[in-house]
Structure 1
């Protein structure tokens, strides 16, 4: 990556630039960086198209969680524009069929309904319990930062992005077509985006 090439950070569900703050601090000294904003777009494809509309002709991508899926959608549309790729704590398959898919759908709608009843802060507190490693749940500063980030997002954003995830395409076939240097990375104990999935991606 040369020092003039833009690096686009693609955040996950209702995440914002704050989640990338350490990477921005370190990497912006070497090259321009930009954080994608999905707003209330309700399709991963439309999120990808927004990135393509605002990025230069050639750029690098780093996507976290839902953002990794968006990065794959960018590649599916314009592989010649992406120079490097990082897929972090993410996935590539469509919503599972049968009982597994219904469990995921029900769990996501349960969070949505909590947000409708009690607001985004309550949603964030409930959601973060399952997203953060048990050893870090007692870190009050970390948890408050996560809760505050989620609470900054409007409920409409969570609802739209949830629909985008539930209607995500299967990109299994795309993985073998990636021809740019790619980092696939996750936490060993990540329960939402497990290590085995990332080993399959790699």
Structure 2
């Protein structure tokens, strides 16, 4: 039996972030919302979403959660796809930025945080198109400030996972955007170097949300990865 594919979105993202790649992934696709206040609890949300083994596809914070899933339950993860992410521990400047955004959000400035602090880092262009901006802001508001605050808190509980990832000989696909200012190509090169069986792909023109910006390039990479490593390919 072909294992399901679990899609784990990034911070302020919901299932809509996968709209550019969902078609063609088969019928056994499961969306998981990560809404807990620490990465460990988010990993448990993923593990509770499906019984048995599964393919894990994570974007940004979703991939960070995927690393923790792999640490906790390696027997459950058949393949891993990590997109636009970082397996390192938080830096001091990141912690301060998350605290500042949390303070502003608590004070009632969630929309301003989304538009002024986060949106400029999401796409290849600092000023994305009106359509891209509207789509991201709408999605962020669907997630909402309460979940955002928990996701910010979760970011601070991340750990350095490089040594852990080196222990796991599972098929892995690492994909990054060449114009991602949050997680630049060198992050993905290091991540792919840590995973023993990883394939690295960098999409040169894409930013952080490459599922939207480069879905046409990403979708066949995902399909091929899942098909090639399925125990029972269609």
Task: Tell me whether the two structures share a fold, i.e. TM-score over 0.5.
Answer: yes
Q: Paired residue for 2:49, among 45, 51, 54?
A: 54
Measure the CA separation in 1 of the matches of 2:72 and 2:96.
31
Change (3 A) 1:145 1:76: same
Per-residue deviation, 1:44: 0.8
Per-residue deviation, 1:183: 0.4
Q: Is 1:134 the equivalent of 2:125? A: yes
CA contact (8 A) 2:32 2:46 kept: yes
Corresponding position of 1:175: 165
Corresponding position of 2:39: 44
Per-residue deviation, 1:118: 4.1
CA contact (8 A) 1:48 1:70 kept: yes
Measure the CA separation in 1 of the matches of 2:151 and 2:21.
24
Q: Is 1:70 the equivalent of 2:65? A: yes
CA RMSD of aligned residues (A): 1.6
CA contact (8 A) 2:10 2:58 kept: yes
Per-residue deviation, 1:138: 4.3
Corresponding position of 1:31: 27
Q: Paired residue for 1:14, among 9, 12, 34?
A: 12
Please list every run of 5 or more consecutive structure 1 residues that lacks an aligned counterpart in the other structure.
none
Q: Is 1:109 the equivalent of 2:105? A: no
TM-score normalised according to structure 1 size: 0.88
CA contact (8 A) 2:70 2:77 kept: yes
Superposed, which structure 2 residues align to 1:153-172 within 5 Å? Answer: 153-172=143-162
Please list every run of 5 or more consecutive structure 2 residues that lacks an aligned counterpart in the other structure.
193-234
Q: Paired residue for 1:89, among 84, 87, 103?
A: 84
Higher helix residue share: 1
Query: What is the aligned length?
Result: 191
